[in-house]
Amino acid sequence: MNAPLSGGQAGTPLVGIVMGSDSDLPIMKKAALMLEDLEIPFEVTIASAHRHPELSRQFALGAEDRGLKVIIAGAGAAAHLAGVIAAHTWLPVIGVPLTGSPLGGKDALYATVQMPPGVPVATVGIDGARNAAILAAQILATSDEGIAARLKDYKRKLAEGVETKANRLAEVGYRSYRKLD
Ligand code: RP5
């Protein structure tokens, strides 16, 4: 039993994005878009630690053979997906706790981050799908000069954005300043 996979960039996927439900896609899509920007091939699918544990297990067990180097797993509520994936592979797993439940994501945060010793999940902030993609890229960049160069460029643009805002604030003053998009 294999999860049907949807791809991103051309080439063998290096990052696997998996989420607990299609209702997670609006947030998890941000990870996919970030990986696209960084030109990193990835796959995307849905599994569920509770509703379809076998599919989640098979996704994790096959990840290494599919060529994945990092897995990003997002889920909301009692979010055990990232932990279950981490239990079935030695590949680094980045967990994305998601909002949407009546507890607003704190439940997912605790469920994702608080793993037992020996089975870590590198957990980003609530709804931090974009950061998960950047962290995945940083892991890949330790052995890929092209990804490292694109990451450096991304970080340079972030810094330029701060300077642009600081210069504009100095120019127009805090009373007239309007937030930039
Ligand atoms: C979690 O339950 C999913 O990751 C999702 O965040 C939440 C709700 O799922 P749906 O009822 O929308 O399918 O397992």
CB-count exposure of residue 174 (10 Å: 0-12, 13-18, 19+): exposed
CB-count exposure of residue 62 (10 Å: 0-12, 13-18, 19+): middle
Given a cut of 80, whether residue 16 has pLDDT beyond it is: yes
Q: Specify the residue with its C-alpha closest to ligand 1, atom 7.
A: 76
pLDDT in tens, 80-131: 999 999 999 999 999 999 998 999 999 999 999 999 999 999 999 999 999 9
CATH classification code of 5-141: 3.40.50.1970
Q: How far apart are CA 78 and CA 59, in angstroms?
A: 20
pLDDT at 1: 65
Its pTM stands at 0.95
Atom from ligand 1 closest to the CA of residue 50: 14
pLDDT at 179: 83
Token digits of residue 77: 């509520």
Q: Specify the residue with its C-alpha closest to ligand 1, atom 6.
A: 76
pLDDT at 149: 98
